[in-house]
Amino acid sequence: MIKKRIIIILTMIQLGILALAGRLVQLQLVSTESFHGVNLIEASVAQRTEQLVIDNGRGMFVARNGEPLTYEYIPTLVLFPFLKKMDWPIDQIATIVSIRKETIKRQLETAKGPIILHDGQQPIQLQPWQMERINDLCIPGVIAVHKQYELKQKYAQHVIGLLGENEKLLKERYGDRKLSQKTKIGVSGLQSSFDEFLIPDGETKLLYHVDARGEPLFGMDVKYTEQANPFYPITVQTTIDRTLQQRVEQIVAQHGMQKGAVVLLDVKTNDVLALASAPAIDERDPYKDGAMENKALLPQVPGSVFKVVVAAAALEHGLIHGQTFNCDQKINGEPEEKKRGMRTFEDSFAISCNRTFGELGKQLIAIDKNVFETYAQKLGLLPRVGWEGDVYHFPSFRPLHEEKKGNIWGDERDKHIPLAVAQTSIGQKDVRVSPLAVANMMATIARGGEAKQVRIVQKMMYKDGTTFFAFDEKRLTMDSLRKETVDELQQLLQLVVTHPEGTGRSFQSLPYAVAGKSGTAQTGKNDVVNKWFAGYFPADRPKYALVVVQLETTSSAAVTNSIFADIVHATYELEQKGRYQE
């Protein structure tokens, strides 16, 4: 009996030892990188290492002139906590950085890890000569470095996009590639589009190993580690003008536009200089009120802005000469509240007479059922307008991957229904185009009829500044309007502002002459409308194409024209100061 008990006890002990051994094998060999969601190797190294990350290793975005849009690098002084237990030339350092040594001591006393020396609330910013003198002293634990900081001022958040930790998405994108589960990846905007190029290959950091008491394990040597590949991380140079972007965002906020978009293009290059979407993103709750949506890239009801397409088609089909239109009537023949009498085509465009374009639309559809699609594409309005092309192993790469296609017809049978045709002709019914596409249409006309793809990125650069890939200017279509048609469209767009009854006459006093087209689109919600103004300036030598749309507002509350006018003023002022360079 006793022997049997001994055998049972020994067996249980052996089983316990085997279970413990199995657990150790699992921890040490099998699940080292994923044990209940924890990377044991990382955790073990972190436990015995004091470190300061200098650069997270992810590529960055810069503006067209090189100013940072995501991170900046500040020359700072790093101090390691073991300094408080040793005698070191603190007086020399205090003299070089022009700060009292008591301040340095006080910050070291409370340090539990490597610290950046601060003066008040801000890190001390060193001059090149200060960095050189400090590092020449070769004091263990005292190192001058350029440390990466996230910009406090956010620029073009909807364009640049956000980063986030998403283990599932990380695995979907990168499979078995060895990346920390805490690696941040792009979840929207350019951060998402360029994620493959920007994903970090490793951090740049200062570190030293410690024992259980926090004492240096291998002497006072501080190691500097960085990515093994000297060409990375990549920098993405956008087309954004940082100063213009900041002013546009300030103007949108000042006028309290709750939902809408602004797009400002360089007419010559078709580059995005500024792009804003409202509401702004609150990083604490980015999905609140649909703020993550970039309204500039999503199709919206354009209203009378679409009349530009009908006008172009009517001009090229010779329907204008000799016709006058009864602007006392609506498109369905009912009386208009505001009597405007019989009008010419030119007058009708300036005052935005719906009856005129309803009639022209029906005449055009009778000639060609696809006439609207044809001319919308010639004008650079459809289907998508953002840059697209092959980038290494990415076929049809689209930096603005969130841009959606526009649309004119919801049902092909509507082309045979006169009222549906008339409604479509004035940008209602199922017509949907993005503010980016409307800006592209205005730039196409301003440029003389050449439709280009819209660029948001100029190039990607290696760490040493050499070009990794250039996003060259590209035609959107080779099918263009006649020069005579473009000339007449330019005159019509100017007439909207110069005509005494023109819908854009409030812009006559601006420092630049403006050409453009207004739009008030019914959204199907009582008096709720989309309020547009799309145009370019200066009208006689176009440099900028600008679109402002306020979504889901009322005509009386709309701030569209005020925002448009203020952006024109801001652009003029910056040019006078020589800020914006062609």
* Catalytic annotation, residues: 304
- Token pair for residue 201? 């290959």
For 487-536, give the DSSP string.
HHHHHHHHHHHHSTT-TTGGGTTSSS--EEEEEEEEEEETTEEEEEEEEE
Residues 6 or more apart in contact with residue 477 via CB below 8 angstroms: 377, 378, 380, 451
User: How many Cβ atoms sit within 10 Å of the Cβ of residue 510?
Assistant: 17
* Of the candidates 150, 181, 196, the residue with the CA atom closest to the CA atom of residue 55: 150
For strand 71-79 and strand 118-119, is the pairing parallel, antiparallel, or unpaired? Answer: unpaired
Which CA distances in Å does 512 have to 270, 364, 473, 564? Answer: 20, 35, 27, 12
| Residue 60 three-state SS | strand
Which CA distances in Å does 255 have to 119, 273, 286, 576? Answer: 37, 20, 22, 24
Residue given tokens 């009582």 in the structure block: 526
Residue given tokens 């005579």 in the structure block: 484
* Of the candidates 72, 241, 276, 240, the residue with the CA atom closest to the CA atom of residue 579: 241
Cα separation of 457 and 479, whole Å? Answer: 25
Residues 6 or more apart in contact with residue 426 via CB below 8 angstroms: 303, 304, 306, 307, 331, 354, 357, 358, 361
Write out the E strands in 313-398: 325-326, 342-343, 389-391, 394-397
Q: CB burial class (10 A; 0-12, 13-18, 19+) of residue 552? A: middle
Cα separation of 355 and 304, whole Å? Answer: 12
> For residues 282, 286, 288 and 294, what is the CA-based torsion angle, rounded to 10 degrees?
100
- Token pair for residue 326? 């009864």
